[in-house]
A and B are shown apart, each in its own frame.
Chain A
Amino acid sequence: MRLTYFPFLVAVWILACGLYGMITSRDLIRQIICLIVVQSSTYVMLVGVGYVTGGIAPYFSDIAGPHATVDPVVQALALTDVVVEAAVTALLASFAIQAHKRFGSLDPQDLAEFKG
C-alpha cells in the first residue's frame, strides 16, 4: 500500500474544513481559529511535496557524506511561515479587540452593516 496522494488529499480536506468553518462562523475569533486551520493545510502540502521515500532529515552533524535527504528548501519555507503566521494572528486578534470595543459585538454579519 503506497501513500501516493493521501497527504495531498488530507491537505485539501483540511483546507475545505477550515473554509467551511470560516464561512459559517458567527464570531470573529472563531474565524481567526479557522484561518489558522486553513494555513496549516499549506504546511502539510509543502512538507508533503518535499518528502523523498527513504530519505533522511537534511542534517549532517552526525552522518558524514552525501545521503539521500528530503528536500530542505520547502522545510525552510514552512518553518519561517509558521512563526510569521503567529504574528499575523496577533494582528488579527487586535483587530477583533478593537471591533468589539467600538461596535460592541463580534458577529461579522453585524459588523458588515457599520460603515466608515
Chain B
Amino acid sequence: MTPGLTDALQATILVLVAAGATMVVLVRDRVRQVLALSLYGVVLSVLFLAVQAPDVTLSEMVVGAVVLPLILLLTIRKVRGTR
C-alpha cells in the first residue's frame, strides 16, 4: 500500500476511535452503554491492526467484545432494581 493510502486509513480509523469513545461516554442507559463499549472494542482492535500490531488486536478483540461485556452485563443483572 502506498504511504498516502496507509495514512488515510489510519486517520479514518483514529477518527472512528475518537467518535466511539465519545459515544460510549454519552450513552445514558446502562445496557446500551455496555453494547457501545463492545462496539468500541471492535473499532479499537481494527486500529491496532492498522498499526501493525496483530497480537494486541487479538487480545483487544477477545477481551473487549466478549469478556468485558459479559462481566458488566452479569453485574447489571445482579443489581437490577435500583435506578
Contact = CB atoms under 8 A, between A and B. Distances in A.
Interface string B54-71: 111001100110011001
Contact of B33 (A33, A57, A83): A33
A49 to B, nearest CB: 10
Best-buried of A17, A26, A34 by chain B (most CB within 10 Å): A17
Interface residues of B, number: 42
| Chain A binding surface, main DSSP class | helix
B14 interface: yes
Interface in B1-53: 3-4, 7, 10-11, 14-15, 17-18, 21-22, 24-25, 30, 33-34, 37, 40, 44, 47-48, 51-53
Given A14-B18, A70-B51, A89 B71 contact: yes
Contact of B37 (A20, A27, A36, A86): A36
A43 B56 contact: yes
> Which of B18, B72, B79 has the largest number of chain A CB atoms within 10 A?
B79
Interface residues of A, number: 55
Given A3-B10, A21-B25, A29-B79, A14 B17 contact: yes
Given A21-B25, A100-B78, A100-B79, 16 more contacts: A1-B7, A13-B18, A17-B21, A27-B83, A32-B72, A37-B24, A43-B44, A47-B47, A57-B53, A70-B52, A75-B56, A78-B56, A82-B56, A89-B71, A93-B75, A105-B83
Interface string A53-92: 1111101000000000110000110110011011001100
